[in-house]
């Protein structure tokens, strides 16, 4: 029996396969789309049983070739570009494809753990997993939101575990291929290495320069929640996956710079030394930007998850040390 990881060559997916390997599981069917060949590098350091293109995988499911051969599906594959404007592509890739996998898993009584997103909350300030808190700002967020609604209507009386994780701002190893959609931590590291400074947006939505706040979560902490769900198959539902602590972009920049330099400067000192530079806020993001996010972890904790989440100061430092080795 194989564990299927979609998006296995991607950021979270590849770290999830590594986590399965660490748990002694190498019977992994890796599913992805390698049109972006740069992602293949993420597969080189992990052990898999086989690889299938995402279209071929869906075809084999629909024709019954994989019936009885799958232990669980961990669905991480998606178009995660929040600036993508092709709604047809986004809905086919993120919504229709996810529905097909969910329906197959319910027909075959196979556990289904999937990636949702904190983008579903939009500009709101309440981050509990409730419909009244959800207000997606773009088609990416809407595709995730709509699939969550599809799951909600069918989760009661399901044949097998169904769990969605609303990832907040994930950062960490194996994200370089994401380009402009890579994390703030990754871009801060690249900027500091190339230019000797980190560029952040000036203040917006009432926040001072660089003081917009997000819930930044290390990819391996998010991976651990997936593995816990896999071990606890009586747990179903939609859960936030973040640290539960909002921190500023300034905090991320400071963690990057201080780790690279081996220093302990405050944000004010880093600005004074011109290590942090504030740039104009992009007009194309006005009205489409989450200036504040903070995961409400109540539901995840009530379900029994007791694992920890690193704060920016520790998690970003760990990440930067890995980047410095590469």
165 in Cβ contact with 223 (< 8 Å): no
Q: Is residue 206 scored above 90 in pLDDT?
A: no
Please give the model's pTM, rounded to 2 decimal places. 0.95
Residues 39 and 184 in one domain: no
| Percent of the chain scoring above 90 in pLDDT | 90
Residues 122 and 160 in one domain: yes
Asked if residue 325 is part of any domain, the answer here is: no
- At residue 219, the pLDDT reads 98
Burial of 85 (0-12, 13-18, 19+ CB in 10 A): exposed
Residues 21 and 34 in one domain: yes
Does the annotation mark 273 as catalytic?
A: no
Residues 145 and 72 in one domain: yes
pLDDT tens readout for residues 278-306: 999 887 777 667 889 999 999 999 999 99
Asked if residue 319 is part of any domain, the answer here is: no
- Mean pLDDT is lowest, of 80-84, 139-143, 238-242, for 80-84
Asked if residue 322 is part of any domain, the answer here is: no
pLDDT tens readout for residues 213-268: 999 999 999 999 999 999 999 999 999 999 999 999 999 999 999 999 999 999 99
Token pair listed for 36: 């972006």
Q: Is residue 85 scored above 90 in pLDDT?
A: no
- At residue 284, the pLDDT reads 76
- At residue 26, the pLDDT reads 96
Q: How many domains does the chain have?
A: 2
SS3 state at 205: coil
Asked if residue 326 is part of any domain, the answer here is: no
- Alpha carbon distance 301, 114 (integer Å): 18
Residues 55 and 69 in one domain: yes
Mean pLDDT of 311-326: 97
Which of 97, 121, 140, 171 is an active site residue?
140
Residues 87 and 194 in one domain: no
Asked if residue 130 is part of any domain, the answer here is: yes
Residues 27 and 152 in one domain: yes
- The whole domain housing 265 covers 178-212+247-285
Asked if residue 253 is part of any domain, the answer here is: yes
How far, CA to CA in Å, does 307 sit from each of 172, 221, 243? Answer: 18, 8, 10
Give the model's confidence band at 81: pLDDT under 50 very low, under 70 low, under 90 confident, else very high.
confident
Asked if residue 321 is part of any domain, the answer here is: no
Pick from 56, 59, 64: which is nearest to 30 by CA?
Answer: 56
Does the annotation mark 140 as catalytic?
A: yes
232 in Cβ contact with 111 (< 8 Å): no
Angle between helices 249-261 and 312-325 (to 10 degrees): 50
Residues 100 and 205 in one domain: no
- Alpha carbon distance 118, 305 (integer Å): 19
| Percent of the chain scoring above 70 in pLDDT | 99
Asked if residue 77 is part of any domain, the answer here is: yes
- At residue 59, the pLDDT reads 97
- Alpha carbon distance 189, 193 (integer Å): 6
Q: Residue 137 maps to which CATH number?
A: 3.40.50.720
Which of 178, 199, 288, 305 is an active site residue?
178
74 in Cβ contact with 10 (< 8 Å): no
pLDDT tens readout for residues 17-58: 999 999 999 999 999 999 989 899 999 999 999 999 999 999
- Mean pLDDT is lowest, of 122-131, 139-148, 276-285, for 276-285
Q: Is residue 177 scored above 80 in pLDDT?
A: yes
Residues 53 and 73 in one domain: yes
Residues 107 and 222 in one domain: yes
Residues 231 and 269 in one domain: no
Residues 204 and 232 in one domain: no
Pick from 119, 149, 151: which is nearest to 135 by CA?
Answer: 119
């Amino acid at each position: 029996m194989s564990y299927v990881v979609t998006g296995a060559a991607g950021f979270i997916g590849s770290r999830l396969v590594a986590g399965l390997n660490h748990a002694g599981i190498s019977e992994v069917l890796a599913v992805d789309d390698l049109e972006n060949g740069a992602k293949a590098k993420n597969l080189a350091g992990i052990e898999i049983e086989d690889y299938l293109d995402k279209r071929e995988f869906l075809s084999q499911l629909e024709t019954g070739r994989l019936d009885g051969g799958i232990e669980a599906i961990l669905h991480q594959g998606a178009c995660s570009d929040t600036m993508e404007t092709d709604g047809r592509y986004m809905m086919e890739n993120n919504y229709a494809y996810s529905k097909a996998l969910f329906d197959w898993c319910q027909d075959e009584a196979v556990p289904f753990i999937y990636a949702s997103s904190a983008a579903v909350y939009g500009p709101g300030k309440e981050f509990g997993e409730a419909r009244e808190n959800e207000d997606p700002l773009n088609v990416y967020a809407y595709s995730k939101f709509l699939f969550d609604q599809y799951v909600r209507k069918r989760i009661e009386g399901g044949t097998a575990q169904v769990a969605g994780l609303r990832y907040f701002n994930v950062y960490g190893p194996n994200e370089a291929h994401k380009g402009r959609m890579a994390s703030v931590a990754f871009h801060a590291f690249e900027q500091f290495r190339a230019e000797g400074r980190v560029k952040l947006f000036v203040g917006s939505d009432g926040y001072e320069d660089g003081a917009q706040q997000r819930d930044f979560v290390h990819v391996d902490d998010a991976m651990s929640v997936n593995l816990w769900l896999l071990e606890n198959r009586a747990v179903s539902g939609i859960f936030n996956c973040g640290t539960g602590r909002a921190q500023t972009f300034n905090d991320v920049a400071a963690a990057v710079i201080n780790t690279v330099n081996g220093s302990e400067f405050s944000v004010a000192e880093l600005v004074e030394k011109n290590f942090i530079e504030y740039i104009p806020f992009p007009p194309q993001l006005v009205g489409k930007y989450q200036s504040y996010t903070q995961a409400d972890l109540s539901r995840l904790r009530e379900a029994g998850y007791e694992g920890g989440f690193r704060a920016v100061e520790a998690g970003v430092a760990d990440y930067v040390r890995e980047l410095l080795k590469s």
